[in-house]
Amino acid sequence: MLIWRINVHERSLERTPVPDGWKTLGGRGLLARILLDEVPPTCDPLGPHNKLIFAPGLLVGHMLSSCDRISVGGKSPLTGGIKESNAGGSTGLQIALLGIQALILEGAPAGDEWQILVIDSSGARFEPAGPIAGLGVYAAARSLRERYGDKVAISLIGPGGEMQLRTAGIQNLDKDKVPSRINARGGLGAVMGSKRLKAIIFDAAGCDKPPIRDPEGFKAAQKAFTTALMNHPQTAVYRDFGTAGVARLCDTLGAIPVRNFSVGQYEDLESISGEHLRQTLLQRGGKANPTHACMAGCTIRCSNNYAGENGEEIVSPLEYETISLMGSNLGISDLDDVARLNWLVNDLGIDSIDAGAALGVAAEAGLLSFGDAQRAGELLREIYTGSPLGRMLGHGAALTGQVLGVRRVPVVKGQAISGYDPRAIKGTGVTYATNPQGADHTAGLTIRAKVDHLDPKAQIDVSRNAQINMAGYDTLGACVFAGFGFAASPESIRDLLNARYGWSVDTGILQQLGRATLKLEREFNRRAGFTAADDRLPEWMTEEPLAPTQAVFDVANEDLDGLYNW
């Protein structure tokens, strides 16, 4: 594996061996190391000194179930701190097949023309994007596939990334070539836009799989992991209901965001529940499919294809975070409406969580009524025009709240809170507050922990463990749901890594990687100017009781500040 370094100003490529200190890292952990080594923490995230880095996790490249994810990172224009966002789809596999441990994009472009970066086994080249620039994500992906064929992986940005909006993501093709697997959070699409790259093509034709030191050992460990994963009870829930199965759980705990996080229980829960979603898709037939894999080889298949009454696909996938932030959080109860809004934000290339939260804040300020899906769509379409209103929304909930003078703004470190109100699931609130990524649904949810989620004293250990494990999985390139298999068979992580690389790590490796990653990320943020004041939930969440539990977020500040003392 090599480090590929591309300077977008010079349009140069340098391929170098992996430096010693980076060799045992991948994915999120490697991003943190490189960012700390190479990016000035106080730099302008959209300027020449920030870097956009793609790094597959340590286990990527072998079609291990749910383990071919791609981590993308840089300094976030949304939070001002470190950012890793990972996605499924086909990019992780292709980049690993190309033998790339990290692709580092650096410098500032010399001109204004949009480019497509094409990476194949012979090297890298820039091609003018031509008329593909300016297109929405779906049309752009179609044109790119016409130009480069159907065997390549593609990472691309939409109008949101081109406008350098702070909620812009980077979209990747799923295994069916739909550009819907998104490095969504923290504005990495804006960083890609600042490099004037509309798309990156990864063409691994003619490349071999990454080498495996001990193929027999790898095969045995793969079998143990896959068996544990297939037998895990949660696998069946995600296969049948997807992440939407979480809606009823969150509602039961009084933690589903409703009308800009003003209530934790939704009167129309039935119509946005995972159970309803499944029934609807089974009844509609055609392209509707409640069980779908985002990447080849995933045995969980938590994704879905959401189709309308005519059986034509509206969006794929429709997930809990979007259902909660663009459904209940906006008072919208029809999943067809939520699916259409989801398609719009995907086409714009912006994060559905932050966009949903921004619309919730806008509704609180009177720009739309809760429940008005049509107006929500009109407001999102403003973003295509680049109008000040559209740009405000596209910059996310934090900026929208500042402009509109709203106090109830659900963000931490400038990033929108995902679909778990932290007053009713306080461990997740601890994660939102203290994780270097800002409020994030993949940084360490605690909903599965066997604790009283309302007890402020019981949350620090639970959150710490979840954060460490997640940082570990993100370093492996494992989907969070692959974690069921690894949790049931922890020795399989050790055996897979030892067989793949010829290492001799023990079963503590997941936590070692996780702890090291979090420390690096926190250090980057410290050098960027973050203090304990940034490790707090919004003040109103500590004061405003959430019906029906009447809970406020009351985990003590000293406890939050001690989370990293392990």
Partner 1 sequence: MHVHFHTLLQQVTPQGRRTHLDMHLPAGATVGDALARLALTYDPEALALVVNRREVEPDHPLQDGDRLDLIPAIAGG
- Distance CA(117)–CA(142), nearest Å, equals 17
46-65 footprint of ligand SF4 as x/- string (CB under 6 A): --------------------
Q: Nearest approach, Cβ of 382 to ligand SF4 (angstroms)?
A: 31
| Stretch touching partner 1 by CB under 8 A, among 173-181, 316-324, 376-384, 507-515 | 316-324
Q: In this structure, how many other beta carbons lie within 10 angstroms of the beta carbon of residue 85? A: 27
Using DSSP's 3-state secondary structure scheme, residue 125 falls into strand
Q: Residue 156 touches which of partner 1, ligand SF4, none (CB < 5 to 8 A by kind)?
A: none
Residue 243 engages partner 1 in binding (rule: CB under 8 A): yes
> Is the CB of 234 or the CB of 342 nearer to partner 1?
234
CA–CA gap between residue 289 and residue 429 (Å, rounded):
33
**What are the Cα distances from residue 368, in Å, to 457, 519, 549?**
39, 42, 28
Stretch that binds ligand SF4, among 10-18, 20-28, 297-305, 533-541 (CB under 6 A): 297-305
Based on the shown chain and the rule CB under 8 A, indicate whether residue 500 belongs to the binding site for partner 1: no
Which positions from 246 to 265 touch partner 1 by CB under 8 A, shown as an x/- string? x-xx--xxx-----------
Q: Find, among 365, 462, 425, the residue nearest to 546 by Cα.
A: 425
What is the distance between the alpha carbons of residues 367 and 252, in angstroms, rounded to a whole number? 30
* Residue span binding partner 1 (CB under 8 A) among the ranges 24-32, 245-253, 285-293, 524-532: 245-253
Give the C-alpha separation, 105 to 503, whole Å. Answer: 30
Which residue, among 519, 513, 441, 444, has the nearest Cα to 184 in the 3D structure? 441
How many Cα neighbours within 13 Å face the side chain of 165?
39
Matching residue, tokens 């020449």: 48
Among 137, 154, 295, 470, binds ligand SF4 (CB under 6 A): 295
Instruction: Give the SS3 label for residue 223.
Output: helix
Given partner 1, ligand SF4, none, residue 525, with its beta carbon under 5 to 8 Å by kind, binds none
Could you tell me how many residues make up the chain? 566
Minimum CB separation of residue 65 from ligand SF4 in Å reads: 8
Q: Which is nearer to partner 1, 90 or 446 (CB)?
A: 446
Give buried/exposed letters for 356-392 (b at 16+ CB in 10 A, else e): bbbbbbbbbeebbebbbbebbbebbebbbeeeeebbb
Judged by CB under 8 A, the residue of 227, 389, 549, 561 near partner 1 is 549
Q: Could you say whether residue 234 binds partner 1 (CB under 8 A)?
A: yes
The structure tokens 């005519």 sit at: 310
Name residues contacting partner 1, limited to 470-499 (CB under 8 A). 480-481, 483-484
Please tell me whether residue 280 binds partner 1 under the rule CB under 8 A.
Answer: no
- Read off the tokens for 566: 């392990």
Q: How many CB atoms lie within 10 A of CB 234?
A: 18
Contact 295, 96 (CB under 8 A): no
Segment contacting partner 1 by CB under 8 A, of 39-47, 287-295, 363-371, 445-453: 445-453
Rounded Cα distance, 303 and 250, in Å: 19
With contacts defined by CB under 8 A, how many residues of the chain interact with partner 1? Answer: 39
Assign residue 61 a region (left: φ > 0; alpha: ψ between -120 and 50; beta: otherwise).
left
Query: Stretches 55-63, 65-73, 118-126, 242-250: which one binds partner 1 (CB under 8 A)?
Result: 242-250
Residues 523-542 that bind partner 1 (CB under 8 A): none
Q: Does 301 bind ligand SF4 (CB under 6 A)?
A: yes
Question: What proportions of the chain, in percent to the nearest 5, are helix, strand and coil?
Answer: 45, 15, 40
Provide the mask over 460-499, with x wherever binding to ligand SF4 is found by CB under 6 A and - wherever it is not. -------------------x-x------------------
Q: What is the closest distance, in whole angstroms, from the C-beta atom of residue 237 to partner 1 in the complex?
A: 5
Closest by CA to 277, choosing from 338, 326, 341, is 338
Nearer to ligand SF4, 258 or 445 (CB): 445
**Which parts of 186-319 fold into alpha helices (H)?**
188-194, 215-231, 233-241, 246-252, 269-272, 274-284
27 binds ligand SF4 (CB under 6 A): no
The verdict on 182 binding partner 1 (CB under 8 A) reads no
- Between 129 and 353, whose beta carbon lies closer to partner 1? 353
**Among residues 105 and 454, whose Cβ is nearest to partner 1?**
454
By C-alpha distance, which of 230, 177, 226, 182 is closest to 72?
182
Q: Is 66 in the site for ligand SF4 (CB under 6 A)?
A: yes
Q: What residue 298 binds from partner 1, ligand SF4, none (CB within 5 to 8 A, per partner kind)?
A: ligand SF4
What residues numbered 397-426 form the site for partner 1, per CB under 8 A?
A: 419-420, 424
Q: Is residue 450 involved in binding partner 1 (CB under 8 A)?
A: yes
Residues in the site for partner 1, rule: CB under 8 A?
233-234, 236-238, 240-241, 243-246, 248-249, 252-254, 274-275, 319-321, 419-420, 424, 441, 445, 447-448, 450-454, 480-481, 483-484, 548-549
Residues in the site for ligand SF4, rule: CB under 6 A?
66, 88, 293-295, 298, 300-303, 479, 481
